[in-house]
């Protein structure tokens, strides 16, 4: 995450999926959410206390709680050449901004044990479950949940069933199928044929013991698309290893309209999303890693501006890759200004350009209906040696 301040008083919040290293930024497929916020008006409370003059938004509270979990409490002067202003910690300073126009809900994970049923609602997939319940209509959709990620943890079919049930707002199923959930994960061939070859697979650090579980096999779909299914998706770059993580549900199987969409750092694991367990703390929700993502749905598209950016890789003279960033900045619909205006719709970009002015596009870097694995396809595993070499003559991610 980046927090960027501007001379005009704006604060830009950027939640992204890239690590700050060359290969992640220039060679991988990544995603980012960004939105600008301005200071609150008529702020009269103590600056040092960092308390708002009116009710804080959920976005503000979640952002502050997430950063407080890191323990950064050093005081700074945040305005240049303004030594008279009391020093503040970062989280105190953030309380000065108005986040009420946020077009997304923050989905955080912070390490810890959270009591059920209340405190856990602020964390991991419990927070996502609550957001979906309040801001979508998934019970009217028969579409599966699509989970796209760059690593997978060690979990049972029961945990995955519980996770999917929360996202679909239904009771857990004993056995999962592609009617319930689709797992988009690169095959060994996807990694081998990428512009980095097997070495790019180090950013997809799933181990064989986790990816090759029998209950997962029927759920897998490819990261890459065929020339037929990909013809209308200008954002799909199959030669770039995916480091982006996305989760979504379509309104129905025959449209590109989304019930909800999540861009996040969460991989598919208990450590990231959380796990309900009973132990010395009683029934609780356990999380092991720090993660942050954003949830978006049509009902959240209020006034304001938001942007989803997918960096893509293009070759100049087929030798030097460089990023082209697609910024989609869309004014949100205000139903109060026109009785004839239709509600906003959140849709996956098709690249055709035939959207109405109420449509807000998500530039998804893979097909919204990914292809199932063929019988000869295997999920990528970072710890295996392969019999076929990549274009660099390597046989594994660890080869020099």
* Torsion over CA: 156, 158, 162, 164 (sign): positive
Phi, psi (degrees; rounded to nearest 5) at 142: -100, 10
Active site residue 374: no
How far, in Å, CA of 339 to CA of 257, rounded? 22
346 bridge partner residues:
360
DSSP 3-state percent helix, strand, coil across the chain (nearest 5): 20, 30, 50
Print the SS3 string covering 334-354.
Answer: CHHHCCCCCCCEEEECCCCCC
Q: Which two tokens stand for residue 19?
A: 């690590």
Phi, psi (degrees; rounded to nearest 5) at 107: -115, 100
Instruction: Render the burial of 150-160: b for 16+ CB within 10 Å, e for the rest.
Output: bbbbebebebb
- Of 24, 312, 28, the closest CA to residue 195 belongs to 28
How far, in Å, CA of 227 to CA of 221, rounded? 16
Q: Which two tokens stand for residue 43?
A: 């702020």
- In terms of C-beta density within 10 A (0-12 exposed, 13-18 middle, 19 or more buried), how is residue 267 classed? buried
Catalytic one among 16, 236, 243, 266?
Answer: 243
The backbone region for 226, taken as left when phi is positive above 0, alpha when psi lies in -120 to 50, beta otherwise, is: beta
How far, in Å, CA of 171 to CA of 162, rounded? 8
Task: Give yes or no for a contact between 147 and 183, defined as CB atoms under 8 angstroms apart.
Answer: yes
How far, in Å, CA of 236 to CA of 314, rounded? 11
How far, in Å, CA of 144 to CA of 193, rounded? 29
Ligand-binding site membership of 270 (annotated): no
Peptide bond into 109 cis (omega under 30): no
Peptide bond into 353 cis (omega under 30): no
Could you list the residues known to form a binding site for substrate, using ranges: 245
Could you list the residues known to form a binding site, using ranges: 245
Q: Which residues are catalytic?
A: 243
């Amino acid at each position: 995450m980046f927090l960027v301040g501007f001379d005009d008083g704006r604060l830009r919040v950027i939640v992204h999926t890239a690590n700050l290293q060359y290969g992640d930024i220039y060679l991988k497929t990544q995603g980012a959410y960004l939105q600008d916020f301005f200071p609150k008006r008529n702020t009269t409370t103590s600056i040092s206390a960092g308390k708002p003059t009116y009710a804080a938004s959920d976005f503000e509270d979640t952002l502050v709680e997430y950063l407080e979990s890191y323990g950064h409490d050093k005081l700074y002067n945040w305005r240049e050449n303004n030594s008279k202003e009391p020093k503040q910690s970062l989280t105190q300073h953030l309380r000065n901004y108005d986040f009420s126009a946020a077009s997304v809900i923050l989905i955080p994970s912070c390490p810890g044990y959270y009591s059920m049923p209340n405190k856990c609602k602020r964390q991991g997939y419990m927070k996502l479950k609550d957001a979906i319940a309040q801001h979508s209509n998934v019970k009217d959709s028969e579409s599966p949940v699509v989970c796209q990620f760059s690593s997978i943890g060690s979990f049972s079919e029961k945990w995955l069933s519980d996770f999917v049930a929360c996202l679909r707002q239904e009771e857990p199923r004993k056995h999962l199928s592609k009617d319930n959930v689709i797992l988009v994960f690169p095959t060994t061939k996807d990694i081998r044929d990428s512009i980095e070859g097997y070495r790019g697979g180090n950013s997809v650090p799933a181990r064989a013991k986790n990816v090759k579980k029998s209950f997962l096999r029927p759920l897998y779909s490819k990261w890459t698309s065929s020339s037929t299914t990909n013809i209308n998706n200008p954002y799909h770059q199959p030669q770039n290893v995916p480091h982006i993580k996305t989760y979504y549900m379509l309104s129905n199987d025959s449209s590109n309209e989304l019930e909800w969409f999540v861009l996040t750092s969460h991989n598919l694991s208990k450590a990231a999303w959380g796990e309900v367990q009973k132990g010395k703390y009683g029934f609780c929700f356990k999380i092991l890693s720090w993660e942050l993502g954003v949830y978006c749905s049509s009902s959240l598209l209020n006034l304001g501006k938001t942007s989803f950016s997918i960096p893509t890789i293009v070759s100049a003279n087929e030798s030097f890759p460089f990023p082209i960033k697609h910024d989609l900045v869309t004014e949100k619909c205000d139903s109060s200004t026109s009785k004839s205006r239709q509600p906003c719709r959140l849709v996956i970009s098709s690249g055709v350009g035939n959207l109405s002015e109420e449509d807000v596009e998500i530039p998804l870097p893979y097909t919204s209906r990914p292809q199932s694995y063929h019988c000869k396809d295997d999920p990528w595993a970072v710890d295996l040696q392969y019999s076929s070499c990549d274009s660099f003559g390597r046989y594994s991610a660890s080869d020099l």
